[in-house]
Structure 1
């Protein structure tokens, strides 16, 4: 277990639990005394914090209520000016006091960074509300990413900032693709446009090699690790969705050369991202993470080629998640392995329903399906308990 996780676990122990462990012979008296001393030194007045938080929340809700009740009476330019002033003040506090805030509490920096980014995102909606303007959603999202993604990358420390970057990029990319294809719905988008949209929607996975390269070179390795994990999840989610669409005919029978070329390009970006992670982190963890991303990329064109072929598409799904499980075993990622086993079991149940849909219309078929679900769930639990890594290594 990493040192930070161990310390966090010890910090949450109660004196009674520590005494019980000592009475059971699990720890000696010296260890007990050290744990009790640590708990005493790091005790936090949770009740006081809770009362203070409730008071601050009440004040904040009161202010929001007062402003909301008089929203239409406040001039739009004044509201925008106050909104912009809040963003500037938050940015000033970050750049002038980041080190001091980080020494007091790293979470203070993370919270201020996230609030600043949120204020920036809502500012564009505020402009549209004041001036009664509208535009495709990808445009304000793109401007927001250009202005605030560098702030999140430079100062982010935890999940919220990493999620804002990867999630915002993915949201913007797919909104752009949706708006572009909708605008061009009256005619075929053409080869160049399809390739461009494929590259745009695949771009968020490129955060993975960037984050992998930064993990050993930054004072914020946890942030970059989370950014890499989110980019990996984006790649795996894309591969999983592609298999599901192929199994259910979600591509609308479009196994055309144009569609295949677009999926091949999207897959190639994933493969390159996976290779980049392997080069940036040559250890077992980096190699396995890169292999998962590259494998998810390879799945994309294959899934498109298996359009409306239920069993082959399902087999491709199983191959993807079996590969993830194998990588998790090699890298000792217990949680990822258990997730992969659960996903495979769920897909197996869904496949049985797809292949025997007529049986579900009868009571006997429902009984059989119930036993099947129980059997698959039991098998998944047994496999997870038998083969899951005993320890959890850092991804």
Structure 2
């Protein structure tokens, strides 16, 4: 790699390292990239430890973490169906927006590109911290740099969706891209406030009038950037479950795990709730690598406790290691004057402690609210 490439370029890692798992990914990401001997900058809305900061050249922190809630007129109701004999489950979720974190990412792009300009850098590789680039793929950074400059282009992107031609393109993937610093600063509207179609569509729209000035790599496989980084692990913690309960600990980042308490529409089951935990895989997802994550071989050991009027009714330890397996337990009928509570703790292999995964308390007054979360049936 020539000296000019190293002097002109900087790698920006967009990160939110709150948990031990996220910090480990960030650490691994930096260590591999450091072999390129290029300046690395961390950009974040969450404080980064000084230990991690000392591994990079620059650190940009913005405590203003803008979140988009979609507004009251943009509320979304999603449903998801699960059927693995003998249970059938329909889950629903009421959410504000699919793009809640996109304003924060856009501001990270803005902050990092202006920082790069201030440090006299000409080019930025922008990527997420859950992209672990295999050492054998590091040459692709230089390949993308050369391909872009030799083609007299100013940036390199990959399409967000899996497509076979560029006629259907309406967005670019922002998990990894390469760009001339001024190209992004001059063309991107960083004041975006409405997110009907998300960050990827916004960036694509901003660049519509200069589409001949950048390379658009057509993604035709399930794994993003597979053509450039075939041996690497991309988006290891960068997806969402199809449905996520408000009773699940938001700090649990294993997006394959779902947990909920449901009632049945089948009169045979009366008011017997079911508690269920699902380890969900093999999801068809056109935009992210749901099935290629750091949680593939995790044991998922749970300690489950059920209480009636604060008295322990039962407890159980289970393991959900296999993909597309579930644990379910039908609970006693909901009766007046009783208070019910379910707690499920998940063993943290990093801290070697139990983290709470799911907590829910209910009485007979909560029956209608429980029904809004979905329903179940038992085929026994």
TM-score bin, normalised by smaller chain: under 0.3
With normalisation by structure 1, the TM-score equals 0.26
With normalisation by structure 2, the TM-score equals 0.26
Would you tell me which structure has more strand in proportion to its own residues?
A: 2
Q: Looking at both structures, which has the greater relative contact order when contacts are Cα pairs under 8 Å and sequence separation is at least 6? A: 2
Would you tell me which structure has more helix in proportion to its own residues?
A: 1
